[in-house]
Amino acid sequence: MLHCTGYAANGPTEPLRQIQFEQAAPGDDEVRIDILYCGVCHSDIHQVRNEWHNTVYPSLPGHEIVGRVAEAGRAVTLHAVGDIVGVGCMIDSCRQCEACRGGEENYCSGPNSWLATYNGPGIPRAKVRDGVNIYGRDNTYGGYANSIVVKEDFVLRIPPALRPEQAAPLLCAGVTTLSPMRHWGVKAGDHVGIIGFGGLGHVAVKLAKALGCAVTVFSTSADKQEAAQSLGADFVLQADEQVLQSLAASFDFILSTVPTKHDVNPYFPLLKRDKTLVAVGALEKMEPINNMFTAFHRQSFAGSLIGSIKETQAVLDFCAEHNIAPEIEIINIHAINEAYEKVMDGEVRFRYVIDMASLR
Amino acid sequence: MLHCTGYAANGPTEPLRQIQFEQAAPGDDEVRIDILYCGVCHSDIHQVRNEWHNTVYPSLPGHEIVGRVAEAGRAVTLHAVGDIVGVGCMIDSCRQCEACRGGEENYCSGPNSWLATYNGPGIPRAKVRDGVNIYGRDNTYGGYANSIVVKEDFVLRIPPALRPEQAAPLLCAGVTTLSPMRHWGVKAGDHVGIIGFGGLGHVAVKLAKALGCAVTVFSTSADKQEAAQSLGADFVLQADEQVLQSLAASFDFILSTVPTKHDVNPYFPLLKRDKTLVAVGALEKMEPINNMFTAFHRQSFAGSLIGSIKETQAVLDFCAEHNIAPEIEIINIHAINEAYEKVMDGEVRFRYVIDMASLR
């Protein structure tokens, strides 16, 4: 057992506070990682505040983790002590269902779904018939800590071309936005719309530009225009009816990164016929979709959830190759509660990454 | 000019009453059809009652028209006087947009969209920039009449194997349900769910069975169980939670034929990962979709609108080949207002078809 420390909340209205906890030594197929950096995802806030109605306390979030391998189990072959590695939203899956066998662990249909990096399992024992828990753990602790133990095949290689702190947001924000672009066949020359220009949105713009797409950002924040344009994107203030009309039926794909319930109806007129609007940010009931419009253009609304381990490695490698790095602000772990407020207020430019050295 | 008669409403709360109107003689590329039968579609009721907020009065509905060619313009080559022919939801389109050139006139993006058989143009002059009306007509009259004039290439051949009165519902209900099954790749061996078992739903079951699918009907009407099972479908009463659970993640495609706003969320757990639920009946705002579920299974919600002329001919030919005929009740035109009430109450088994001889 290792004595560890991290930041966790004890209830939905509690601030995150430092806690001590015990961590089992790595098993044969596991590595223990000394955490260097952890990104702050809007999901962390949803989870800590029990907005998905499934939070187990203490809640210790963080799923954009970069660190250094400190110990490796004796069967480990993929990583070595000293390697700079990453951990994203998953740390295990059932490995037996069709999705897992097909390399899409993020859609694991095992009894507990995939094992979430924090607050895992995804489907808790209490909700599974006969109380099954294939992972034997009821509340995993994430990356707002000094250490984590993970099965080696759920650990990503951070390419040397990426700075560790900048690689962190790719592990959730990066793969969550690239995975649907790949799945829906976004290709060079396509016109891609990105709704929301925050942690996910700004990474999505960089990825879509690197894919060779023309990119338009839709945002409610006029003060984000310059940043979007500096990435080579067009910028549309959501309320600008005239501009929206001029963009009618011009998009091949629209990705909504807005992290809360919102109205996607204004965007269907911008999509070409037969195309899809995918929402990755808002994991909740959306505003009602007007099928009078979608039917007339045979359009689809879809959801997409993070990405597989293979896709996560691919986004890291893609970003290293294309010299893509998220725009981050490094913060001290002691500033995490203020950081949450700023994320809620849309003030972050564009992703907070916690320097975990501040914890020690 | 031909003196014609038909049944039309003069306002959203008015009953349909007999009216007289003038009809221009067919042009060179048009045929005039003596109408024998016309199906009663739920859309007729939506339109007459101005539920889509775009009705022009008098409103003379009917877009499941079968009749006999009475006159043919001198350039007509596809049909001859005496032929039994059909007219569906469209009687013209812009013929210049990408959709029209690709044989998908039902997604015509011309200034007025396609020309609807009744209440056309689809997008009226008043809503188009510069008041364009490429069709030169502001309120088309449909099939609740003794005669209609239509461009020959929007007129369908009724195969001799189909009885004219049974062919009528295929012109809307048939193509509206087969088109999305074809578009989303439904194939033999697939498990297909059909929500709603009325005019569209029961035809959808017959078509899906003929495609070689296993079919399950979801209905709120327990008294439709026997009819559904007689078509070889499984029947699930929508409220039956236990049965719904046993069907989890077992469907390749789900088609909702429910003609009014409804909640599709209970059906996403029945769909396999990456699959689509398509709503063809409710052309309005749906109940909010819960993206917590759709994202976790990368599922899509989509709309689909009738079908092209080519697809309409194909569904007629397919039904002739597979010996498929809608279940109809022949009614007298004078009973149309009561028939509407019975359609609203779900009492029809399963499609009313007006015998237009009753009009003369």
Q: What per-residue confidence (pLDDT) applies to B4?
A: 97
Q: Are residues B193 and B164 in the same domain?
A: no
One digit per residue, the tens of pLDDT, for chain B of length 360 reads 899 999 999 999 999 999 999 999 999 999 999 999 999 999 999 999 999 999 999 999 999 999 999 999 999 999 999 999 999 999 999 999 999 999 999 999 999 999 999 999 989 888 898 899 999 999 999 999 999 999 999 999 999 999 999 999 999 999 999 999 999 999 999 999 999 999 999 999 999 999 999 999 999 999 999 999 999 999 999 877 889 899 999 999 999 999 999 999 999 999 999 999 999 999 999 999 999 999 999 999 999 999 999 999 999 999 999 999 999 999 999 999 999 999 999 899 999 999 999 997
Q: Are residues B184 and B151 in the same domain?
A: no
Q: Are residues B24 and B97 in the same domain?
A: yes
Measured CB to CB, residues of chain B less than 8 Å from chain A are: 52, 99, 107, 109, 113, 183, 249, 273, 276, 279-280, 282-305
Which residue among A183, A280, A286 sits closest to B289, beta carbon to beta carbon?
A286
Task: List all residues 6 or more positions away from B101 whose beta carbon is below 8 Å from its beta carbon.
Answer: B95
Q: What is the ipTM of this complex?
A: 0.95
Q: Helix, strand or coil for residue B311?
A: helix
pLDDT(A227) > 80: yes
Q: What per-residue confidence (pLDDT) applies to A40?
A: 98
Look up residue A79 and give its two tokens.
């990583």
Q: In terms of residue numbers, what domain contains B187?
A: 174-303
Nearest-by-CA chain A residue for B176: A295
Q: DSSP class of residue B176?
A: H
pLDDT tens-digit readout, A245-287: 999 999 999 999 999 999 999 999 999 999 999 999 999 999 9
Look up residue A150 and give its two tokens.
């993970």
Which residue among B109, B273, B295 sits closest to A99, beta carbon to beta carbon?
B273
Q: Are residues A317 and A239 in the same domain?
A: no
Whether residue B316 lies inside any domain: the answer is: no
Provide the pairing of β-strand B84-87 with B65-72.
antiparallel
pLDDT tens-digit readout, A69-124: 999 999 999 999 999 999 999 999 999 999 999 999 999 999 999 999 999 998 88
Residue A88 identity: G
The domain tally of chain B equals 2
- What does the alpha-carbon distance between residue B50 and residue B13 come to, in Å, rounded to a whole number? 9
User: CB distance B288–A285 less than 8 Å?
Assistant: yes
Which residue among B99, B284, B290 sits closest to A292, beta carbon to beta carbon?
B284
Whether residue B266 lies inside any domain: the answer is: yes
Instruction: Sort out which chain B residues have CB atoms less than 8 A from A113's CB and list them.
Output: 296
Instruction: Find the helix or strand (DSSP H, E) in which A98 lies.
Output: helix A98-101
Q: Are residues B183 and B168 in the same domain?
A: no
Q: Are residues A201 and A261 in the same domain?
A: yes
Q: What per-residue confidence (pLDDT) applies to B287?
A: 96
pLDDT tens-digit readout, A182-214: 999 999 999 999 999 999 999 999 999 999 999
Whether residue B313 lies inside any domain: the answer is: no
Q: Are residues A85 and A127 in the same domain?
A: yes
Instruction: Sort out which chain B residues have CB atoms less than 8 A from A102's CB and list them.
Output: none
- What does the alpha-carbon distance between residue B30 and residue A63 come to, in Å, rounded to a whole number? 66
Q: What per-residue confidence (pLDDT) applies to A241?
A: 83
Whether residue B309 lies inside any domain: the answer is: no
Q: Helix, strand or coil for residue B344?
A: helix
User: CB distance A300–B113 less than 8 Å?
Assistant: no
A vs B: CB pairs below 8 A: 108
Give me the CATH number covering residue B233: 3.40.50.720
Q: Are residues B8 and B129 in the same domain?
A: yes
pLDDT confidence bin for A55, thresholds 50/70/90: very high
- What does the alpha-carbon distance between residue B17 and residue A143 come to, in Å, rounded to a whole number? 72
Q: Answer with the one of B287, B303, B319 that is the final residue of a domain.
A: B303
Q: Are residues B152 and B104 in the same domain?
A: yes
pLDDT(A239) > 80: no
Give me the CATH number covering residue B153: 3.90.180.10
Q: Answer with the one of A261, A287, A303 that is the final residue of a domain.
A: A303
User: CB distance B292–A273 less than 8 Å?
Assistant: no
Q: Are residues A147 and A182 in the same domain?
A: no
Q: Are residues B151 and B203 in the same domain?
A: no
Tell me which of B112, B254, B298, B306 to substitute to probe the interface with A (most A C-beta atoms closer than 10 Å): B298
Whether residue B322 lies inside any domain: the answer is: no
Q: What is the pTM of this model?
A: 0.95
Q: Are residues B225 and B154 in the same domain?
A: no
The burial class, CB within 10 Å (0-12 / 13-18 / 19+), for A217 is buried
